[in-house]
Amino acid sequence: MAPRERIVVADGAADTAQIAEFERDRRELLRRGLGLGAAVIAASSIPLLLSVRNAFAASSGDAEILSSAIHLEQVAVLAYEAAINGGLLTPAFAKVVGRFRDHEREHADTLTTALTDLGGTPPAKATAADIDGVAKGLGDARSQADVASFAIELEMAAIAAYLDAHRRLIEAKLLQTGASIMANEAQHLVVLRQAVKRDPVPKAFETGQA
């Protein structure tokens, strides 16, 4: 892979020379196997579930994580598209789902640009056959509520994956972009949970874990 360059994937309040310097330092430390966080703060001190499902488990570097994330976002676009075309949604809910699909597409486009800037190659386009690999049940949906429940699973899987990525991403900008995407998926969850009369914010830490 090409040497890592700083990338710009979004607007940049934190896109400063200081951050750039910090990133260089951290990359160098990681390369040397040190890491700024050599003394690990006990994970048990924070109510965060460690055994999240994670779609990025096999990934290591930023480019690999990005590639997995792009695949996940493409799958989400396809799933929401299929949901809209499935004939089970009211026009109002189809409009909501259409907006979510557009958001997922924006995520995929931004991540693809980031990957290309890193010198990576975007993954092969996801297909409808990939949907089941992320969340199951869309094919069996018989009602709008079924579709919403499927979409909740889909968004939870994405959030769990982004959560795990935060342990391993190195680039500052990617961490920040990943967090802003993860938070958007969490907002999708609120609307979907409300649509099926579930508690919209069941936990103080949104980990994508039920």
Partner 1 sequence: MDIDGFLRDSLSRRRFFHMSGVSLAGGSAVFLTACSDDTKTPVAGPDESDEADVEILNSALDLELMAVAAYKTGAAKLNGEVLAVGKLFLEQEQEHADGLMAAIKDAGGKPNRAKASYDFPALGSQTDVLRFAIDLENTAIAAYIDALPKLGEGDLRATAAAIISNEAEHVAVLLGALGEEQVPDAFVVGKVA
Q: Give least dist CB 121 to partner 1, A.
A: 24
Whose Cβ is closer to partner 1: residue 127's or residue 205's?
205
By the rule CB under 8 A, 157 interacts with partner 1: no
Site residues (CB under 8 A) for partner 1, limited to 74-113: 99-100, 102-103, 106-107, 110
Whose Cβ is closer to partner 1: residue 142's or residue 152's?
152
CA distance 41 to 45: 8
Phi then psi dihedrals of residue 96, to 5 deg: -60, -50
By the rule CB under 8 A, 166 interacts with partner 1: yes
> What 3-state DSSP class applies to 83?
helix
Whose Cβ is closer to partner 1: residue 57's or residue 124's?
57
Q: Give least dist CB 46 to partner 1, A.
A: 5
Phi then psi dihedrals of residue 7, to 5 deg: -120, 155
Site size for partner 1 (CB under 8 A): 71
Token look-up 């949104």 returns 206
Whose Cβ is closer to partner 1: residue 20's or residue 88's?
20
The span from the first CA to the last CA of the chain, in angstroms, equals 37
Per the rule left: phi > 0, alpha: psi between -120 and 50, beta: everything else, 208 is left
